[in-house]
Each structure stands twice: as structure tokens, then as C-alpha cells.
Copies of this chain bind each other. A is one copy, B any other.
């Protein structure tokens, strides 16, 4: 098949694609994200691109407009004659027939708003904790009958930097007992040729027969609701695969406090929750390994890495403090009791076999350090990835999971806090909430005039107003859809500032549920869905979202006060489950203090990114300990005026004054103050 070179600007993504594919297909293949509502059907006109005419010696191509297929009638509907003159085309209509350089105008770029579930990988120097050394050993003889281990150590002593392993008389941390147990057979399996894996230049964690330079690790982000694991090739610094699972502890409680309560009520609860999450981690690792094998076992060639459990020689884990403690079997009770002391604070290196993890048994699992009871290793990882401590700009970083974690500051000083948002933004406690699986509504727009709803579901590029009946198989609303909801409902006049449904409804989508007697608004009609029922948003759902956003807003206010800052240079929204952030909606709903929407950017699963960075580079691990020690944690529950700020922040959009005219939104008893105070 003939191929053509395609270069996208300004991203720089480039590669070869088969001739005949559309510019949109090429973009997908090369990792470029182009905005589309109709999913490439030529219906929405959102995917305008500019094609360059000229020679690009830097890239070795000559780009011609004539290298694309002929102009189509569809394109006339969206592209003005002037734009056409400038080389504008619709990416879904133009087929590639030769080399082209394609420029994406700002409005056609989806990347800013659409965050992949995969953690971003930031540039990190290659400096993994584990290094592999191929060795050829002399065979034992009557003149040289030394122990197998000594034979190995003598060869290893010749490797620069490893001499101290051999000369040390310290019998700890030089080798693992499991290495000894398999050593004899492995040394002899390939005629005394072996590959030795050494952790931190101090311990042999694996000896395998033959020469093999591959090196792999897994980075894990344990959220209260979702667990994400990424398989990383530590030689090429690339994420090979990512797998996601629900946190199985959800059955014991949606949030961290209810899991601690489960432990207090059930004597075996702590052990059980630990076992459950370990089992899930093992499932995730198994799934990651499976992606490296061909489906057809008869396939003998191809790019398959064919990894086995033992090939995973390093692991990093981040998570909030309660997830951290439950995983390790550490007593979590006092995390919920003032003054909230955790059991341990510093980072830990724990053998995989000690935790029961099915990777290389002697490998060390690096648990990032935690800051405090409610600002955990996940926040440390976010800071590691976003580096506010390295620059002058004041960053406000908001990590939205089942708990909201906030960090504010720059290289002078950083203050952090956690606020109990509840799991609303993860889809829990919302009537049709669900996790980000195919069919889950992840973005919503409501027309202010018609109050009609358009939405997009996970796993499909088509917006509902361009989709055929039943095409989307909609089944619920996931976290990122929920983040859109409050702003869209308010902007279209469906709800009031108080969050209550407006008494003046014009759309037939508004109704009172016959069973519950509650007001609700239909997001998707039964025929559009895969569940055969209308998907709605209820008054109670709206109130849950209000509680969540108010907790974040109030936390931001307290931190600004602590830092003595009345402003910030950038707002980074992080979230572990794939959020499509629309800055305006964030501001409209009043989730953060007012600012220029341009300052708001989404950084995706920054905690996962931090975990990957720590996996790739041991210096980054040292940095996490420094971060955890250095940042100042603010305990919101002991800040006298936090509740006041919280109640003020419930309405939409935020107003600086108290608002006695607004009716109480919820019974104050059901308001969840931050963690158990």
C-alpha cells in the first residue's frame, strides 16, 4: 500500500499513513485530536484544517493542496470562499493522496479540552531504579569451586558502580532470598550467560538465563473509586498500555470515611479491603501483560513484547492516604480523628511478595510519601508532575477525585488542603451516574433558547444531535458529564442560582417523577439509550453537585488566605478518570474563585503522570520526599470560617455577599462537612 507523509502543526505530530485515508483518520492514527461533533460524517463543520502549499526541507516533504482529494459539496456549507482560498478543508472530507503539512486552527483542536484517560507523560530523564546487566560467568572448576552467588558477584563487581555490592559484607539488600532459590538453575540454563537486574545499585532482584535488555515497570494510581495501572517500557520511556478498574473497596463504602468505618465495625475489614485491592492490582497487571501477547498463540513474529509477570521489575503506587493505608494494612482509624496523624509519612519501598503482588517477587514497590491524613501520595504525585515548586508562577492545582485535593503556591511556598467533595464527580450518588465506560455521557450542552440537550458518549465521536436513533446506546452520565451539568442547567435557565429548578420551565424535558415526586430533567430519551429508560437529572443530583463544587471553592478561598494571595497565574484541573474541562463552565458553576478562563487548563490524570515519572527516574523519587516534607498542609476542618465559606459557595454563580433570600438547599443535617470533624 502506498503511503504519504503527514505532519500536523502546531503539535508536530507526524508519520506515514496509507494513501486514501481522510485527514481525520490520519490525525487519529498519529495521536492528533481534531474537534468533531458528528464523528466525521461531514455534518458539523467543526474539523476545519489548513493545508500548506510549499516545500519543508526540515521534514523532507513538499506539501501540496492538490495532494488532497477534490473539494466536496459538503465543505461549501461550512467553509467560506475566503477560507477556501487560504487552503481550508474539512478533515473528515479531504482524503490524503500525497505528502501534506496540515495546520490546525485553535478552534479545531480538541486536545485542550479532551483529556485522555492515559496519564500524560512528561519529559523525564531516563534513570530507572532497576538496571539490567548481561553477564557471562566462568564455569565452576576444581580450582574455582566458589559458591554460585560469589561467582555472580565477582562478575558483577566489574560493572562500574556496582563494586560495593560485592565488597560489602552486609548480607542485607545485596540479593533477595528468592534470587538465591532460583540462582543455581538459572546460571546453568544458558551456559552461564545471564541477565542480572539490580535495584538502586544495591540489591540483585532477579537473575534470568540468557541476555535480555528489556526493562518494564507498572505505575499505579489507586483512587477511591477507580484504579489505573500503566505498563511502562523503561528503556524507551513509553507507556505501552493502560488498564482501569473500579476500586473493589467500593462495596464497603463510597468514600474514605465510610471505609474507615467499615474497618471499625468489622474486625477483619482492614485485611479484607487490603486483599481486595491487591487482587484488583493483580488483575490489572495480568490485563496489562495480556496486551503484550498476540491473540492468536500461533503468531510467532510481530511487535509483541510477550511479557510475563516476572518481567515487571518495578512498580510505583500513588493514592490518597486512606487508600495508601488500606493497601498496606496500616491502621486507618486515626486518619479520621483529630489531629489526624497518619501511621507513616515517608515514602516506602516494599517487596512485591510482601504485598502479594504478582510481579517479579523480589521487586520493590515504591509507595510515594504522603503529606497528611487527607492529602496523600496522589497529591505529591500531582505536584511532582506539575512542578509548581520549581517556578515563579502561582499555580492553583485542583485534583478532583472522590476527594478534592488542592494545592496553591509557587517555589516560595505551597499550601495544600483536602476537601470532602464526595463522589459526585465520579458519578456516584447521582441517579444515573456511572463510570466512564462506553455509552456514558461525558460532555453535555444545553441550548439556552430551546433548552434542548446534546451530549457525547464515551467511545463515540458523534454528538447526540448528529447521531442516528439508538446509535449511541447511552446508559448514564460519567464524571466529566456531571462536571458540565450544573453550568449548562444554569446557563439555559433550567435551574436558578440556588440550584432549585426554575418554576418557569418551557421544555417538555422537565417533569415531576411520578414515583419519587421529585422534579427532574430528561437528558436522554429512552429511545436514544441502551437501557430503555429516560436518563434524567434530579433535584437531589443537582444538590450533590453543588455540595461538591462548594467544598472546592471554599477550600480555594482558605488556601488563598493562608498564602496571602488574592490571585493565581494558572489553574490546573487534574482528575484521574478522564475529564473534559470547559473553563467557562468551571467558572459559571462557581467551582473556583473568579479568574480569566484562559488561565484554566486541564492536566488530566496528573497523579498517574507523577507515578509514571517516579517509575522512570529515581531522582524524582527523592523529589517526592522533599515535596511531602516541604509543602504546608492546612487542615480545613480546624479553620473556623471554612463552614461559612462552604455555605456561601453553594449557590450558582458565587456572590461575595450572603444571600438570605435563597431558600435552604438541603437539610443542613445531610451536609457533609469535611472528614468527620
Contact = CB atoms under 8 A, between A and B. Distances in A.
A350 B174 CA distance: 12
Contacts of A150: 344-346
A635 B143 CA distance: 11
Interface in A129-159: 140-142, 144-151
Interface stretch (A179-187, A383-391, A596-604, A605-613): A179-187
Interface stretch (A117-125, A333-341, A586-594): A333-341
A350 B351 CA distance: 14
A189 B313 CA distance: 39
B148 A344 contact: yes
A193 to B, nearest CB: 17
A625 B345 contact: no
B330 A184 contact: yes
A342 B147 contact: yes
A339 B141 contact: yes
A268 interface: no
Given A142-B338, A183-B343, A184-B343, A173 B173 contact: yes
B348 A171 contact: yes
Given A339-B141, A341-B140, A330 B180 contact: yes
Given A145-B339, A340-B145, A331 B183 contact: yes
> How many of these chains are in the complex?
2
A328 interface: yes
A638 interface: yes
A335 to B, nearest CB: 10
A108 interface: no
A349 interface: yes
A55 interface: no
Contacts of A344: 147-150, 180
Nearest to A625: B169
Given A171-B346, A172-B349, A148 B180 contact: no
A329 interface: yes
Interface in A321-366: 328-331, 333-334, 338-350, 354
A277 interface: no
A216 B576 CA distance: 50
Given A180-B330, A328-B181, A343 B173 contact: no
Given A145-B372, A183-B331, 13 more contacts: A140-B339, A145-B341, A145-B635, A171-B346, A171-B349, A172-B173, A180-B343, A180-B344, A183-B343, A184-B330, A184-B331, A184-B333, A185-B331
Nearest to A335: B184
A177 interface: yes
A333 B185 CA distance: 10
Contacts of A142: 338-339, 635, 638
A89 to B, nearest CB: 56
Q: Which of A141, A149, A331, A340 has most chain B Cβ within 10 Å?
A: A331
A527 B670 CA distance: 90
Q: How large is the interface on A (under 10, 10 to 19, 20 to 34, 35 or more residues)?
A: 35 or more
A173 to B, nearest CB: 6
Contact of A341 (B151, B171, B328, B334): B151
Contacts of A343: 147-149, 180, 183-184
Interface string A648-662: 000000000000000
Interface in A169-219: 169, 171-173, 177, 180-181, 183-185
Contacts of A345: 146-147, 149-150
A328 B180 contact: yes
Contacts of A169: 346, 622, 625
A635 B145 CA distance: 11
28 contacts: A141-B339, A142-B338, A142-B638, A145-B341, A145-B372, A145-B635, A146-B341, A146-B345, A147-B341, A147-B343, A148-B334, A148-B342, A150-B344, A150-B346, A151-B341, A169-B622, A171-B346, A171-B347, A177-B354, A180-B343, A180-B344, A181-B328, A181-B329, A181-B331, A183-B330, A184-B331, A184-B333, A184-B334
Contacts of A348: 171, 177
A428 B4 CA distance: 82
Contacts of A354: 177
Contacts of A171: 346-349
Nearest to A364: B172
Nearest to A149: B344
A329 B345 CA distance: 36
Nearest to A347: B171
A625 B345 CA distance: 37
Interface string A53-68: 0000000000000000
Contacts of A184: 330-331, 333-334, 343
Given A142-B638, A343-B149, A345-B149, A177 B331 contact: no
A379 to B, nearest CB: 16
A607 B344 CA distance: 42
A165 to B, nearest CB: 13
Contacts of A635: 142, 145
A622 B169 CA distance: 9
Q: Which of A150, A151, A346 has most chain B Cβ within 10 Å?
A: A346
A217 B140 CA distance: 38
A346 B149 CA distance: 9
A149 B344 CA distance: 5
A330 B172 contact: no
Contacts of A330: 180-181, 183-184
A150 B345 CA distance: 8
A328 B173 CA distance: 17
Nearest to A337: B140
A148 B341 contact: yes
A175 B44 CA distance: 61
Contacts of A147: 341-346
